[in-house]
């Protein structure tokens, strides 16, 4: 069985109640619920939240919230995979077990059902332990460095980096936060996110916004409306 888990805790500090901010008239978490349901892949689309308000919103749009997340797993420093493990244990207590877990963060509202289906096909074809969505990084990490207290740029970049045109630098990719597909066997075993049988699903940058602060949300709104107008042929 396959479960989509949409983690939507309350109490965000960087952007208050970001998981229910309205994007095109719908709370942010709803975009992930609808995307999961439209993919038609899942036996359960579960919203992992500590908020009854968020739970009520999720249920209105077809999400499943049979229980709330433990508050001990909903703090600023909580590790999301500990919360996932806790949620799966609660399901197991009522006789529901899932072999595949797909984490869909509500802060990635621009993913589309085809992204989930394509990532899942990679998972199936490779008999993978995990598939994680990535996108091409905007800037190479080779042109980044730390600065000393006096802000000196001595040896800031290596010669072989700044002596080449940007187009000749290697492509780098970043985890974009949109899709994590993980094989799950038992709560005692850590989920293998970046092991030998882990694979990337490459998404376009235009669907790879991960909302953390107000600026990210403004960017997401602009990209969302642009994608919507293109889809509608406007």
CA dihedral sign, ordered 104, 109, 113, 119: negative
The pLDDT value recorded for residue 43 is 97
pLDDT, one tens digit per residue, over 29-48 is 999 999 999 999 999 999 99
Phi, psi at 216, each rounded to 5°: -60, -40
Residue 55 above 80 pLDDT?
Answer: yes
Q: Is the pLDDT of residue 168 over 80?
A: no
Q: Which residue has the tokens 């936060």?
A: 177
Residue 194 to residues 27, 191, 197, 200, 225, Cα–Cα distance (Å): 31, 9, 8, 10, 34
Joined together, the tokens standing for residue 53 give 């308000």
What are 96-125's pLDDT values in tens digits?
999 999 999 999 999 999 999 999 999 999
- What's the pLDDT at 162? 67
pLDDT digits 0-9 by tens, 193-223: 899 999 999 999 999 999 999 999 999 999 9
The CA-to-CA distance between both ends of the chain, in Å, stands at: 40
Query: Looking at the predicted structure, is the pLDDT value of residue 230 above 90?
Result: no
In this structure, the number of other CB atoms found within 10 A of the CB of residue 125 comes to: 10
Predicted confidence band at 155 (pLDDT cuts at 50, 70, 90)? confident
Could you tell me the residue ranges of all domains in the chain?
2-135+174-231
Q: How confident is the prediction for the chain on average, in pLDDT?
A: 91
DSSP H/E element including 167: none
Q: DSSP 3-state assignment of 138?
A: coil
Percent over 90 (pLDDT), the chain: 75
Over range 150-166, report the average pLDDT. 79
Copy the structure tokens of residue 33: 């619920």
Would you state the pLDDT for residue 163?
62
Query: 147, 178 in Cβ contact below 8 A?
Result: no
Partners of 133 in the β-ladder: 201
| 123-148 tens-digit pLDDT | 999 999 999 999 999 888 888 889 99
pLDDT band at 188 (very low <50, low <70, confident <90, very high): low
Q: Check: CATH 3.30.360.10 for 2-135+174-231?
A: no
Q: What pLDDT, on a 0 to 100 scale, did the predictor assign at position 164?
A: 65
Closest CA to 182 of 133, 118, 125, 128: 128
pLDDT at 187 (0 to 100): 59
């Amino acid at each position: 069985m396959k479960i989509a888990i949409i983690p939507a805790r309350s109490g965000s500090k960087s952007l208050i109640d970001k998981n229910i901010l309205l994007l095109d008239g719908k709370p942010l978490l709803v975009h992930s619920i609808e995307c999961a349901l439209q993919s038609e892949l899942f036996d359960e689309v579960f919203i992992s939240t500590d908020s009854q308000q968020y739970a009520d919103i999720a249920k209105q749009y077809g999400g499943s919230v049979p229980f709330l997340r433990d508050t001990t797993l909903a703090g600023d420093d909580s590790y999301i995979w500990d919360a996932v493990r806790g949620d799966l244990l609660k399901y197991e207590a009522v006789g529901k077990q899932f072999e595949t877990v797909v984490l869909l963060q509500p802060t990635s509202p621009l993913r589309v059902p085809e992204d989930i289906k394509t990532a899942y096909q990679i998972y199936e074809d490779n008999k993978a332990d995990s598939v994680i969505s990535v996108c091409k990084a905007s800037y190479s990490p080779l042109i980044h460095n730390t600065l000393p207290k006096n802000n000196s740029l001595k040896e800031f970049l290596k010669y072989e980096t700044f002596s080449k045109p940007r187009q000749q630098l290697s492509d780098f990719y970043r985890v974009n936060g949109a899709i994590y597909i993980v094989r799950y066997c038992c709560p005692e075993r850590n989920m293998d996110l970046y092991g030998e049988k882990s694979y990337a699903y490459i998404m376009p940058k235009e669907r790879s916004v991960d909302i953390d602060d107000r600026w990210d949300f403004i960017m997401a709104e602009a990209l969302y409306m642009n994608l919507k107008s293109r889809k509608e042929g406007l």
